[in-house]
Amino acid sequence: MNHFDLVVKAFIVCKEEFLMVQRAEDSHGTFKWTLPGGHVKYGEDLKSAIQREVKEETHLDVTVADVNTVWDFVASDAHVIGITFLCFLQEKQTITLNAELSSYEWIQMNDISVKNIPKEILKELETYERRRNQTQAASIEKN
């Protein structure tokens, strides 16, 4: 049956690093590197959904800032609509992965050329850096 799925993802930044997670063998998207996240429950607000998903998958308590990107794709039985939120950690916390994930890695933002980062995550990084640069430029213009 064709339907819509609403999914949230978290682009988690801590200082000059961001977090990628790897899906487990028995999970959807086997061994795929991605961002923490999942489906929004009926009646759940979006910021609560991303905080819940991040907590369930990594045991991290993140600060949700704003929408980073909105994206979609059509699968065989669903039109998936996704929202990636920009989230922050002041300091790294202990990460405990749930059974859906097999690994994680903190990636230095200035060292992405040596990593095989999926294009959808590179898009999130590019959007984040563009917005950060615009904010810094606006701040300089005010002074």
In this structure, what CATH number is given to the domain that contains residue 28? 3.90.79.10
pLDDT tens for 99-121 read: 999 999 999 998 877 678 899 99
Count up the domains in the chain and report the number. 1
pTM for the structure as a whole: 0.90
Quickly tell me which residue has 């063998």 as its tokens. Answer: 25
Residue of 77, 59, 52, 74 lying closest to 2 (CA atoms): 77
Q: What is the mean pLDDT of residues 17-45?
A: 88
Structural domain containing residue 14: 3-142
Q: Which is more confident, 143 or 75?
A: 75
